[in-house]
Amino acid sequence: MVEPVNSSFGKMLLEEVSPVVMVLCTPLVEETFLKNGLSFVETLKPFCNFRNIDVPVRTSSDQLYRLKKFTLRLFYASDIRQPNVEVAKQRLEHVITQAGEKDFQDLKFDPPQITDILSNPESEIAPSWFQYYNKELIRTLSFSDHEAFDHPVACLLVVSSKDEEPINKFVDLFNSNRLPTDGTMDPNILKHYLLVHDNQDATTERTSKVLSEMRSQFGSNECNLLCTNSSKEGNVDHQANPWASFKSSVSADKLGCALTGDDIVEIKDLMQEFASRHIIPYMEQKVRELNQQISATRKGFRNQIKNLWWRKGKGDGPDVTKGSMYTYSSTESQIRILGDYAFMLHDYELALSSYRLILTDYDIDKAWKHYAGVQEMMGLAYFISDQSKKESEYCMERAFSTYMKLGKSGFQNALRCGLWWAEMLKARDQHKEAASVYFRICGEEPLHAAVMLEQASYCFVLTKPAMLHKYGFHLVLSGDHYKNCDQVNHAIRTYKSAISVYKSTTWSHIKDHIYFHIGQWYAIVGMHDVAVRNMLKVLDCGYQSKATQEIFLRDFFDIVKKTGMKHEVVGLKLPVINMSSLQVIYEDHRTYASQASALVEESIWQSLEDDIIPSLNSGKSNWLELQSKLLPKKYKESNVCVAGESVKVDLEFKNPLLISTSITSVSLICELTTNSDDLKLVDNEPSSSSLGPEISTEHNQVTTSGFSSFTLSEVDFTLGGGEKNLVRLTVTPSEEGILKIVGVRWELSGSIVGVHYFQSVPVKAKTARGRRKNKLTPTDALKFLVIKSLPRLEGSIDHLPEKLYAGDLRYLVLELRNKSESPIKNLKMKISHPRFLSPGNHEEELTTEFPDCLKKGDEQNIVQHETNRTSSVFAFPKDVSLQGDRSLRWPLWLRAAIPGTISLYYTIYYEMENVSSIMKYRTLRMHYTLQVLPSLQTSFEITPSPSRLQEFLVRMDIVNRANSGCFQIHQLSTVGCRWGISLLQPVDTILPSKSLLAGQALSCFFMIKDCRKSGTEDEEIMSLPPSQTDVKLFTQDDDEKLFDIVSSPLASFHDSERSCQGPSVQVSPNTVDFILISRLAKSSSPSVVPDLPKILTHHSCHNSIRSSSPLSWSLDGPQTIHHDFLTSLCEIKLKMVIRNTSEGLSSVTINTNDCLPDAAAPTSSSGNQSGWRYVPTVTEEMKLTSDVMGSRLGKPPSSMESSPPFIWSGLSSTKVQIQPLSTTEIPLQISVFSPGIYDLSSYKLNWELSEHESATSSGTCQGYPYYLTVLQSE
């Protein structure tokens, strides 16, 4: 820490608490010095501060000390009085105003960074004019009646050699009463006489004569001669002008223009001699005299008791607040003079002892102003002598508090005390405490408060660590006070400094306050461009109230209008641009039919196009690798677009405010560079040689009229409060070259042009680089190589509905157009969902109305039997070529296979000839979204017939899953020629209500028959008439034809359903496929699906036959036999047909029993033959059902008579091997001994199934009931 005497405050004390010299001069003296642009006092002032005077001094003690630094203050006699308060106030205001005008040019610069502020030395942080203002504020209290350091120590009488009767002039000046007459100042002061000689006008002889007379009259030691204005021309230029800092109102070139270097040396020597030989010795002698006098009357124990006794009772009197009760000759005044003289002579111990001696007197006398003044000087003496910090701060605190108790009369003194106190604390690095002192002396006067608050703010930034928020807060308070006093320049300066604190914080409201007001104030001083720049900072103020936002926006546009010009603002925050939403959509070899198709993920299109894009010479090469070989090296990373085709940019704009904002003329900022050599390389084969490029660049900001190499779209829209809007902007190049999308621009209120550049923003490009890693830089994604115009295929699908019911079958038309004169050929199409879409076979459209064209008997080629398509790619006929105005209309079949939201993707490949060397083909991508609503849900259960090997019972369950639609069942068909289908009940009884309501369920039964010939291992399928595979399920319109399910498109859709509903390889042939055809009832409301369906098809595939046994069999033989038992027993031949319905090898063993375990003995009845058994009726036989294990389901009635046993006369046990899905026949024979009815179910089938290499299963099946009637022949 710097020694107090060498600190800035210590130096200020040496200048401000220093001897005062009263100057009395004649008008001719002033006239002489005014030739230099200076008064007499102003001429001498720079030479009154002595840095190394080295004068020995002895005051109260006999010990000498040397005075190194000394200062004199010169004042005219007319100025030695207390300044007028109003005049002093105006002078201070002038100081502030003048400082603001000097700083006006600095207002244009950006605010300083807080790091720069913190790194600056302490002397450079606060404005330099603060020190001058503080001095002027202190000088407003000069020549107070309660202090002695402002009282004149000496009087300098100055007469010109040109004056008439100079000696008399000295006498007149001496006799004039120029000192105040209130008795506080001692008139008996040192007098010194100075004769001024003007070398330009006066003669040397007269001057010498006058000087001799002066010395004889006033003494030789008290008289001096000063020769000046030695320059005859009066044009002396001083490089280091000593008066520049004292006289700023006059040009430095004119100051001292008649004074030569010798004149300046003479003035300097004069003042040093005057101080060292006259002022200091006089003060030294005065101090010794006063000290001796006071020691005799006041010092010592006896004198102190005497003084206290004499003052006893004065403490009960009133406070001394006005006037002075102490004259210059009073003991108290003499002690105060002693203390002040000792202070000015740097004898601080003597000064402190004198102040302590008088302090009690002022306290007892209640002379509070004098008391506070002494406390103030004691605090300064403690500080500058580097004694107790605690004592110095205590004295300043007591002085300040006492001044403040005096009210208005003591406030100015409190200001000076506070300033000295704050400077004292700053010199000791107690900046935080100094700031609190500045805050205490703010007062009620706003301009003074503004200066004090600003000084307090700089104290906060100098604390360790820096208190930045308090620094910024006090700057804002100071700026508000400056603005209230019309000191706009200072208000701007303080707010600019506060910006450095808050701009990096999240304190949005105070930042808005600062930027908004500083913008207003810049507009007041006429700096509208800077005002607009600051007001722009508050536009993104969505967190403010709506009323505040309206004020911000209104004032902003008012300031802009006052400028009378359009302002282009880079980074305008209204509206806010969401750069993460930036998406570039362009077309190279990939073109899009709609915006929806352009937004689809690239991976989806790539997986769809793998089969239709041809491979190049290298098996692993793709189009992008070919492009990199053909493009010039510096454009390899560029995207490719086609002249005449738009590049689209999607960008989201958001209104951060709560009020509606209109955005106009939104467009892209682009540059198009034409490089003839590079484009030549693109159109021809790559070449290793190149010439100097001829480059021409066009920018849309420059091109406003005439021919343009690209066109831009402009969008106008209005954003409500907090609203977002995704805007699509386009640029369409018309020439070949390099296109760069630089940014986006827009207008606000017709006067603000917002600009946003894209250089440092990540971009999502919809045509990503295939399977390459996504390493596109922003420059890559926004840079395009524009090649010459190419044919472009356009496509659409007519009448494609948005909503359908599940199963809805529609006829659509795909229309393709090529507006270019260059033809396209080799068209191919691939569809993502063959289950939903199937292309027709011919270009011609239907001549028969849909859906009648799908019914049996229609000979339309479009619905003929589908040719087997081995590939998922549909190739248009080779002779199809499109160019000019010709369009291609191709039929499409749509079937809504499953409910839900379905995305359909189509890609159409086509080739071009002799157009571009780097693009031989293009693809058209189409995307549509369908909403499929639930309709009918079907399920089938197939059970083997217990009595017939080839017949099966089918149960169909239907549930209407639609929310409101009603459906009519039209037709049920089996797919293929193997299965015949028939009704088990009349059509009217299946669905009496004619339609199936929403949520209603229905169950109905059918019989299907396997029409294959059996009996051998290789079974042949018997071709059925088409009428046997379809069942009509409606009663009205009996002549209406059924739908042909074996023709396209029903057959092709069924093939897709088979592959989707089950495995496509090694499907078990023991399954049945059904197609249910329905229609929407006429009573259904069209509100759900506007375009009502005409036909709905429901496909159920791979329905297996329900059975837990791998075998099915039947016993064939006669039902009734006549035989003569009188001659022999009856032998009957039977045949058992067994089918292995599994996919494994089956081993079957047949075990027969000769007697039934539950058979009863035959009972004789009169009139009948013995042995007759119960014969069931036909109706009872129809009720017999089979359990799946083949066990007996019924027994003869208990009343049935028992019969003699019959025997199986063949083998009692037979074992056979049956191949998977094969049939075998086994002969059997029984012997019957008497007539009767016999149940031939007394056998069992034991089977063992080998399904896999190691997995086996086995089981037993009981024989089916088989009744044989044997009668006695006549």
**Backbone Cα Rg of the chain:** 60
pLDDT at 1182: 34
Tell whether the model's pLDDT for residue 686 goes beyond 50: no
Tell whether the model's pLDDT for residue 701 goes beyond 60: no
pLDDT tens profile 65-93: 899 899 999 999 888 888 888 888 888 88
- The two three-digit tokens of residue 864, written as one number: 């003929």
pLDDT at 121: 80
Q: pLDDT band for 1165, please (50, 70, 90 cuts).
A: very low
- The two three-digit tokens of residue 560, written as one number: 């802009």
CB 122, CB 466: distance < 8 Å: no
User: What does pLDDT average to over the chain?
Assistant: 80
CA 1007/CA 979 separation, integer angstroms: 10
CA 814/CA 801 separation, integer angstroms: 14
Sign of the torsion formed by the C-alpha atoms of 606, 610, 616 and 621: positive
From residue 64, how far is each of 56, 58, 61, 289, 352 by CA, in Å? 6, 5, 8, 17, 19
Q: pLDDT band for 798, please (50, 70, 90 cuts).
A: confident
CB 927, CB 905: distance < 8 Å: yes
pLDDT at 631: 55
Residue 1146: strand pairing partners: 1218, 1249
CA 1050/CA 1097 separation, integer angstroms: 8
Q: Is the backbone of residue 994 left (phi > 0), alpha (psi -120 to 50) or beta? A: left
Tell me what percent of the residues of the chain surpass a pLDDT of 90: 23
pLDDT tens profile 817-868: 888 888 888 889 999 888 898 888 776 566 667 888 888 875 444 444 444 4
Comparing 1202 with 800, the larger pLDDT belongs to: 800
Please give the torsion angle defined by the CA atoms of residues 381, 385, 387 and 390, in that order, rounded to the nearest 10 degrees. Answer: 40
CA 202/CA 697 separation, integer angstroms: 80
pLDDT tens profile 435-493: 999 999 998 889 999 999 999 999 999 998 989 999 999 999 999 999 999 999 999 99
Q: pLDDT band for 1110, please (50, 70, 90 cuts).
A: confident
pLDDT at 194: 92
CA 470/CA 432 separation, integer angstroms: 10
Q: Is the backbone of residue 224 left (phi > 0), alpha (psi -120 to 50) or beta? A: beta
Comparing 434 with 676, the larger pLDDT belongs to: 434
pLDDT tens profile 995-1009: 888 888 988 999 998
Q: Which position has the token pair 């198009």? A: 672
CB 1206, CB 1154: distance < 8 Å: yes
Greatest distance between any 2 Cα atoms in the chain: 203
Give CA angle at 342 (340, 343), nearest 5°. Answer: 60
Q: pLDDT band for 1046, please (50, 70, 90 cuts).
A: confident
Tell whether the model's pLDDT for residue 1179 goes beyond 70: no
Tell me what percent of the residues of the chain surpass a pLDDT of 70: 81
- The two three-digit tokens of residue 4, written as one number: 């107090």
pLDDT tens profile 1215-1260: 888 888 788 888 988 888 888 888 888 888 888 888 766 678 888 8
Q: 251-260, 660-669, 1239-1248: which has the minimum mean pLDDT?
A: 251-260
Query: Which of the 8 DSSP states describes residue 1149?
Result: E
pLDDT at 322: 45
pLDDT tens profile 618-648: 444 454 454 555 455 555 667 888 888 899 9
Tell whether the model's pLDDT for residue 321 goes beyond 90: no
Q: SS3 sequence, 882-947?
A: ECCCCEEEEEEEEECCCCEEEEEEEEEEEEECCCCCCCCEEEEEEEEEEEEECCEEEEEEEEECCC
* Backbone φ and ψ of 486, nearest 5°: 65, 20
Q: Which of 700-709, 835-844, 874-883, 889-898 has the highest mean pLDDT?
A: 889-898
pLDDT at 769: 41
Within 10 Å of residue 362's Cβ, how many Cβ atoms? Answer: 23
Question: Mean pLDDT across the stretch 523-538?
Answer: 86
Tell whether the model's pLDDT for residue 106 goes beyond 80: no
pLDDT at 899: 92
Helix (H, G, I), strand (E, B) or coil at 848: coil
CA 1186/CA 1189 separation, integer angstroms: 8
Q: Which position has the token pair 């299907």? A: 1008
Comparing 733 with 912, the larger pLDDT belongs to: 733
Question: Mean pLDDT across the stretch 114-137?
Answer: 83
pLDDT at 1064: 47
| DSSP secondary structure of 1197-1258 | -TTSPP----EE-S-SEEEEEE-TT-EEEEEEEEEE-S-EEEE---EEEEEEEE-SSS-EEE
pLDDT tens profile 1-12: 678 888 888 888
pTM of the model: 0.63
pLDDT at 948: 75
The terminus-to-terminus CA distance of the chain in angstroms comes to 152
Q: Which of 161-175, 780-794, 887-901 has the highest mean pLDDT?
A: 887-901
One-letter amino acid for residue 667 of the chain: S
Residues 6+ apart with CB under 8 A from 827: 816, 875, 876, 880, 882, 908, 909, 910
pLDDT tens profile 1132-1147: 988 888 888 777 888 8
Tell whether the model's pLDDT for residue 1164 goes beyond 90: no
Q: 217-226, 471-480, 932-941, 1108-1117: which has the minimum mean pLDDT?
A: 1108-1117
pLDDT at 636: 60
Within 10 Å of residue 760's Cβ, how many Cβ atoms? Answer: 7
CA 1006/CA 1021 separation, integer angstroms: 21
- Helix or strand holding residue 158 (H, E): strand 152-160
Q: Is the backbone of residue 245 left (phi > 0), alpha (psi -120 to 50) or beta? A: alpha
pLDDT at 180: 61
pLDDT tens profile 38-54: 889 989 998 999 988 88
Q: Which runs of consecutive H residues, i.e. helices, occur in 35-182?
A: 40-44, 85-102, 114-119, 122-125, 129-139, 166-175
Comparing 390 with 776, the larger pLDDT belongs to: 390
CA 741/CA 668 separation, integer angstroms: 7
pLDDT at 252: 58
Q: Which of 138, 62, 126 is nearest to 380 (CA)?
A: 138
Q: pLDDT band for 1088, please (50, 70, 90 cuts).
A: low
Comparing 770 with 336, the larger pLDDT belongs to: 336
Comparing 1086 with 40, the larger pLDDT belongs to: 40
Q: 111-125, 647-661, 848-862: which has the minimum mean pLDDT?
A: 848-862
pLDDT tens profile 358-411: 888 888 888 899 999 999 999 999 999 888 889 999 999 999 999 999 888 888
